């Protein structure tokens, strides 16, 4: 069953309240996901009856938390590498404790303010969730299918879902619906800024192309035997990538490690050849392929090796031209952005007033204390 989030949008948003060089960094390389921290030694067992989080008189014990974590981890099957299990368990535990805090504080506030949800509202949310799942792999046939796929069980999933609907209703009524600001004027100012930036970028692009073309001519006019040295000299002097300090040398890379335009050009060049201007999202490049290693098929215990390329480059940066949106779209985004800020303020206030407490190893999920007001600070 495809993973489908069934909690309310308010709970998702609230999670934020708790608390060219080497090829990996080069301005041609694709960004890579950060590596997970190394797993630490297993800590001694702690009291399963200890409350890890208490909010509005309700508490989540360490034993209950550990049981939930194991169910969620088990639902991932063999998808988690053994060396990352400790790290993953901690991340899952943090998320469970955060949600317990947020849901406990906000659901109680909704009840205090007299909010309730009707069968029609529940059905409407269920239909929206099912509609959002259309076309996904293993598309659920009913909302019961979604509930049944929850690693903590159908009953927990349904309670979480209803709580999310209730909290969303309160957030919309108490915060979002009260924003009557007209963002049209601000939207027009934003559009004017985009247009001005685009004009500047267009002029900068012409200058960048002129400069990279001149550098290419300099290289073309350099005798073949001195071209590599000249390329390194120009890279040090003109390249906007940190790799310029190494004469533009990027080292070895395989297909897919660089942005597509750069990848295609570098692998298409012969050894010692220099490309014409190559445009990427970073700007204009001159690429010199300095070595190639063909792919090697697996033999015996020796694994297969992909094709490799070694190259240097010179980068002249450009600013990107942005699409100019219409005023209505910008106004809606500005309203949404303002709404997120107001929701965060509301959530922080509710959670602070809930008197929530946490064990030492989960204190980071609690919001920071409210800063004293200017009058009080005096």
Tens digit of each residue's pLDDT, the chain (378 residues) = 334 444 443 443 333 333 333 443 466 776 554 454 444 445 567 889 999 999 998 999 999 999 999 999 888 877 788 888 899 999 999 999 999 999 999 999 999 999 999 999 999 999 999 998 888 888 888 999 889 888 989 999 999 999 999 999 999 999 999 988 999 999 999 999 999 988 888 888 889 999 999 999 999 999 999 999 999 999 999 999 999 999 999 999 999 999 999 999 999 999 999 999 999 989 999 999 999 999 999 888 888 999 999 999 999 999 877 889 999 999 999 999 999 999 999 999 999 999 899 999 999 999 888 766 655 555
Q: Give per-residue pLDDT as tens, 340-362.
A: 999 999 999 999 999 899 999 99
∠ CA(260), CA(265), CA(266), 5° rounding?
Answer: 100
Q: Which CATH architecture has domain 184-317?
A: Roll (3.10)
CA dist., res. 226 & res. 133, Å (int): 60
Q: What pLDDT is recorded for position 76?
A: 82
- The domain locations on the chain are 9-19+46-174+325-377, 184-317
Q: What pLDDT is recorded for position 25?
A: 46
Q: What pLDDT is recorded for position 202?
A: 82
Q: What pLDDT is recorded for position 13?
A: 37
Total residue length of the chain: 378
CATH topology (fold) of 9-19+46-174+325-377: Triger factor/SurA peptide-binding fold (1.10.4030)
Q: Are 219 and 314 in contact (CB under 8 A)?
A: no
Q: What pLDDT is recorded for position 201?
A: 83
For 247, phi then psi, to 5°, come to: 75, 20
Spell out the residues 6+ positions from residue 169 whose beta carbon is closer than 8 angstroms to its own: 110, 115, 117, 121
| Class of residue 132 by CB neighbours under 10 A (exposed 0-12, middle 13-18, buried 19+) | exposed
CA 108 centroid distance within chain:
31
Global confidence as pTM: 0.60
Spell out the residues 6+ positions from residue 370 whose beta carbon is closer than 8 angstroms to its own: 348, 352
Q: Are 113 and 353 in contact (CB under 8 A)?
A: no
**Which of 174, 173, 314 shows the shortest CA–CA distance to 242?**
314
Taking residue 188's Cβ as centre, other Cβ atoms within 10 Å add up to 13
Q: Are 4 and 143 in contact (CB under 8 A)?
A: no
């Amino acid at each position: 069953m495809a993973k489908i989030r069934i909690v309310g949008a308010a709970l998702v948003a609230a999670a934020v309240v708790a608390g060219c060089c080497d090829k990996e960094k080069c301005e041609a390389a694709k960004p890579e996901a950060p590596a997970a921290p190394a797993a630490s030694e297993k800590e001694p067992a702690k009291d399963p009856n200890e409350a890890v989080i208490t909010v509005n008189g309700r508490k989540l014990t360490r034993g209950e938390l550990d049981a939930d974590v194991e169910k969620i981890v088990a639902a991932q099957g063999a998808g988690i590498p053994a060396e990352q299990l400790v790290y993953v368990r901690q991340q899952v535990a943090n998320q469970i404790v955060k949600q317990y805090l947020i849901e406990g504080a906000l659901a109680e506030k909704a009840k205090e303010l007299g909010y309730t949800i009707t069968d029609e509202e529940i059905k409407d949310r269920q239909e929206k969730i099912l509609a959002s799942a259309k076309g996904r792999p293993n598309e659920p046939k009913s909302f019961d299918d979604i509930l049944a796929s929850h690693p903590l069980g159908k009953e927990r999933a349904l309670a979480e879902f209803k709580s999310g609907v209730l909290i969303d209703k309160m957030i919309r009524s108490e915060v979002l619906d009260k924003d009557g600001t007209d963002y049209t004027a601000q939207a027009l100012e934003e559009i004017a800024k985009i247009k001005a930036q685009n004009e500047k970028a267009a002029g900068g692009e012409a200058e960048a192309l002129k400069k990279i073309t001149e550098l290419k001519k300099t290289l073309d006019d350099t005798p073949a035997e001195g071209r590599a040295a000249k390329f390194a000299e120009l890279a040090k002097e003109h390249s906007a990538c940190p790799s310029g300090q190494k004469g533009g040398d990027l080292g070895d890379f395989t297909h897919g490690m660089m942005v597509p335009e750069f990848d295609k050009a570098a692998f298409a060049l012969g050894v010692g050849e220099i490309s014409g201007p190559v445009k990427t999202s970073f700007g204009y490049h001159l690429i010199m392929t300095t070595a190639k290693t063909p792919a090697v098929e697996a033999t015996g215990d020796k694994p297969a090796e992909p094709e490799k390329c070694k190259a240097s480059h010179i980068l002249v940066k450009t600013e990107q031209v942005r699409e100019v949106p219409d005023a209505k779209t910008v106004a809606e985004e500005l309203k949404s952005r303002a709404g997120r800020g107001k929701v965060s303020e509301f959530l922080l206030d509710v959670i602070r007033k809930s008197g929530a407490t946490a064990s030492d190893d989960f204190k980071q999920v609690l919001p920071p204390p409210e800063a004293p007001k200017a009058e009080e600070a005096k």
